[in-house]
Amino acid sequence: MDTKLNFFVFTNTIPEKTSKGVIYITPFGEDYVNIFRSISQYETNVAKIEENDFNRNIFVARNGTFKSSIDFRISEPNMPRDSIFVQTDEPLSKLVEKVKENEMYTYDIFSAKSISKIGVSDANTVSREMKILFYVMLQYMSAGYHERKNKKKIPDWCICFTEPILKYFIEYFEIKTESPDIHIADQFLTNPQFREMITTQLLKVLANYVVNNKMIEIRDVKSWYDISLWLSLKSKF
């Protein structure tokens, strides 16, 4: 059985032409068939977006809606992990061909693989977002979170998880609180083990990133938990 391709096209205008079966996301969505203001509105009114062996979701940004495909991906943290996000004005028929030929994919920022072969705009976005994660991790480690300590106050935005890349981090790694009615920030503030777990996961992502992008040789690492090691890499971020 062929995999069904579900296309969600994001644009900042009212589409002049629409394709059958394609869902359009635009600020002008409320008065048109198959056109919605947001993904959340679509899921509320139609169906939850899921992915399996028979179903593939392709999110397409038109008209330079986002700075890069990575920005686009981060903006929708709740979407299935294997979804394809791409920023292009190419015809959908061309994109279908590329998907079938396995020529389309979205760089997985938390895979922390080398960015040497991805486009300039995507590489710049990855570098920018990794710089944010690096700063947050340094704050966590300086506060001793990796040792279940709490030695200093750190900036509020680092523990509220409202920054888009931090929201995506929480969703990507499926980090859950003890109860659905407990906010992620509340558990982070009150639970040392929870802080340690998140700090360690962040450290693993950044460790892979600096090795895969040749910012450090693995043989030069004595301990990833040594904050002086990370401070020595500061200029490379």
Q: Judge whether 66 and 75 are in contact, CB under 8 Å.
A: yes
* DSSP conformational letter for 213: T
pLDDT value at residue 150: 96
- Is the pLDDT assigned to residue 1 strictly greater than 50? no
- The rounded mean pLDDT for the chain is 93
Q: In the chain, which ranges are continuous DSSP H helix?
A: 39-45, 69-75, 92-100, 120-142, 157-160, 164-172, 184-190, 192-212, 227-232
- Is the pLDDT assigned to residue 8 strictly greater than 80? yes
* pLDDT tier, 100 (very low <50, low <70, confident <90, very high otherwise): confident
**Arithmetic mean of pLDDT, 3-9:** 90
pLDDT value at residue 105: 84
* pLDDT tier, 130 (very low <50, low <70, confident <90, very high otherwise): very high
* pLDDT tier, 177 (very low <50, low <70, confident <90, very high otherwise): very high
3-state secondary structure of 140: helix
Residue 4 pairs with which residues in a beta bridge?
Answer: 55
Residue 76 CA from chain centroid, whole number = 8
3-state secondary structure of 236: helix
Which range among 13-17, 112-116, 183-187 shows the weakest confidence by mean pLDDT?
Answer: 13-17
**Higher pLDDT pick, 221 / 19:** 221
Instruction: Write down the residue that tokens 């910012």 correspond to.
Output: 215
CB atoms within 10 A of CB 132: 16
Torsion of CA 212, 218, 222, 225, to 10 degrees: 10
Residue 207 CA from chain centroid, whole number = 18
3-state secondary structure of 178: coil
* DSSP conformational letter for 2: P
pLDDT value at residue 36: 92
Question: For 147-162, how does the pLDDT look when each residue is reduced to its tens digit (9 = 90+)?
Answer: 999 999 999 999 999 9
pLDDT value at residue 15: 81
3-state secondary structure of 104: coil
| 99 token code pair | 């998907």
Instruction: Write down the residue that tokens 């040497």 correspond to.
Output: 116
